[in-house]
Amino acid sequence: MIDSFSKFLSFEKRYSSHTIVSYLNDLNQFKSFYSITYGPIQWETVKHIHIRSWLAALASKGISNRSISRKLSSLQTFYKFLLRRGILEKNPLKKIIAPRIGKKLPYYLQESTVHELFTNDLFNKDFSGLRDRIVLELLYSTGMRRSELMNLEIHHIDLEKNLLKVLGKGGKERLIPFGHDLQSMLKNYLSKRHCIANSNNLIISDKGKKVYPKWIYNTVKKYLSLVTTAEKRGPHILRHSFATHLTNQGAELNAVKELLGHANLAATQIYTHNSIDKLKRIYEKAHPKG
């Protein structure tokens, strides 16, 4: 059943390999808990009390509500799959309530920090330095995800119209505009890249091969560490910064949603937090009773 579910996530839902691994890990964790506690698992005989005991065991180990909720979501998706396939008739999760999760505001860089990152001559003048700058520029200028950047190919870039075609979650395509400065950098980069390339991917290693997720993470962290001591210094902080700075400058939330590739507006609304803070400061400075 888990193998069939894995194929469903891959071929029908078109989830990324990383997401599928997370789902399968959660399912196998529950399966292992059930087998140790109650004996060999039969998915049709699992009851809500078994799931509740698993959640209690996770909580007793200090697992956060956010992680527990994610694991529960994996199990919920699996049972919905079994119900749709007619393999099961009842969903034991109907009586399960997910733990409450406090909304976590995203980390982001101040605009002054981003300015320092790109104006302080931190990047070498050779191919590697130019490529590293392109990595950070693309993440901040377009808000794309690390996986999207890693899989971005040369033919996805339109240097005439200053547009990128990005393949996002679930295989959904979206177009993202970029500025003239980035256009010039990309032209310069592409003119040097063809000498060492063994891949159609835009971002390549020094040996001309496709880069991997940890490489992008380490590259971003290396340069962000030069301008900030923030706890979060991975690629996603540049995505958060992109969205926060757009909303601060008055961009419509629906437009930011489309640029980020969010499925619904609720996911984008977390980026209004800083705009509200900004409005409060304006009010305090400008209003007689502020």
User: How does pLDDT run across 151-187, given as a tens digit for each residue?
Assistant: 999 999 999 999 999 988 878 899 999 999 999 999 9
pLDDT higher than threshold 80 for residue 136? yes
Place of tokens 């180990």: 61
> Looking at residue 267, what is its pLDDT?
79
> Looking at residue 276, what is its pLDDT?
62
Place of tokens 């392109």: 134
From 150, 203, 142, 201, select the one nearest 176 (Cα to Cα).
Answer: 142
> Looking at residue 16, what is its pLDDT?
86
pLDDT higher than threshold 70 for residue 289? no
Classify 153 as helix, strand or coil. strand
Classify 52 as helix, strand or coil. helix
pLDDT tens, position by position, 201-260: 999 998 889 999 999 999 999 999 999 988 889 999 999 999 999 988 888 989 999 999
> Looking at residue 105, what is its pLDDT?
67
What integer is the mean pLDDT of 39-53?
94
* Band of pLDDT at residue 284, cut at 50, 70 and 90: confident
Long-range contacts of 156-164 (CB under 8 A, 24+ apart): 156/202, 157/186, 157/202, 159/183, 159/186, 159/187, 164/138
Residue positions annotated with a catalytic role: 145, 169, 236, 239, 262, 271
**What is the rounded average pLDDT for all residues in the chain?**
90
> Looking at residue 196, what is its pLDDT?
74
> Looking at residue 279, what is its pLDDT?
64
CA 237 – CA 88 distance, rounded (Å): 42
For the chain, what is the radius of gyration of the CA atoms? 23
Task: Work out the widest C-alpha separation in the chain, in whole angstroms.
Answer: 70
> Looking at residue 273, what is its pLDDT?
64
CA 254 – CA 252 distance, rounded (Å): 5
What integer is the mean pLDDT of 28-50?
94
* Band of pLDDT at residue 102, cut at 50, 70 and 90: low
> Looking at residue 201, what is its pLDDT?
93
Cβ neighbours for 56, distance < 8 A, ≥ 6 positions apart: none
Least confident of 56-70, 185-199, 220-234: 185-199
| DSSP code, position 126 | S
Q: What is the Cα 15 distance to its own chain's centre? A: 13
Residues in the chain: 290
> Looking at residue 66, what is its pLDDT?
87
Cβ neighbours for 127, distance < 8 A, ≥ 6 positions apart: 192, 193, 196, 206
| All domains of the chain in start order, with CATH | 2-95 (1.10.150.130), 111-282 (1.10.443.10)
CA 10 – CA 229 distance, rounded (Å): 38
Is residue 139 a contact partner of residue 102, using CB atoms and an 8 Å limit? Answer: no
pLDDT higher than threshold 90 for residue 35? yes
Cβ neighbours for 124, distance < 8 A, ≥ 6 positions apart: 130, 132
- Which runs of consecutive H residues, i.e. helices, occur in the chain? 2-7, 17-38, 48-60, 65-84, 111-119, 127-142, 146-150, 180-193, 213-224, 235-248, 253-260, 273-286
In the numeric block, which tokens belong to residue 254? 């629906």
264-278: b or e for each residue (b if 16 or more CB lie within 10 Å)?
Answer: eeeebebbbebbeee
What integer is the mean pLDDT of 24-48?
95
